Amino acid sequence: MRTDSRQHLDSGSTEDRTYLESLIREDFERCHADDTFEDLKRRASFSKEDKGLLRDWMAVAAARAAAATRPPH
């Protein structure tokens, strides 16, 4: 399933963004043991590489949120 990851950086309410971040924060920090999700968000404001990484992680979060709201088969 393809997700438009660009929409998740600037769209939605603060509550929506907080919820999406909660879905990926632990996994991000497990994959990047020497980094925090908050640091990534800060760096994304001035680094295109980190902005892309954040966009990709937010796409994962959006996919997880969408999967959680789908009714079971």
Q: What is the pTM of this model?
A: 0.79
The reply to whether 47 falls in a domain is: yes
Domain count, the chain: 1
Domain range for residue 33?
7-68
pLDDT tens readout for residues 12-35: 789 999 999 999 999 999 999 999
The reply to whether 2 falls in a domain is: no
Half-sphere exposure of 60 (CA within 13 A, CB side): 13
pLDDT tens readout for residues 41-72: 999 999 999 999 999 999 999 999 999 888 77
Look at residues 1, 49, 29 and name the one whose alpha carbon lies nearest to residue 65. Answer: 1
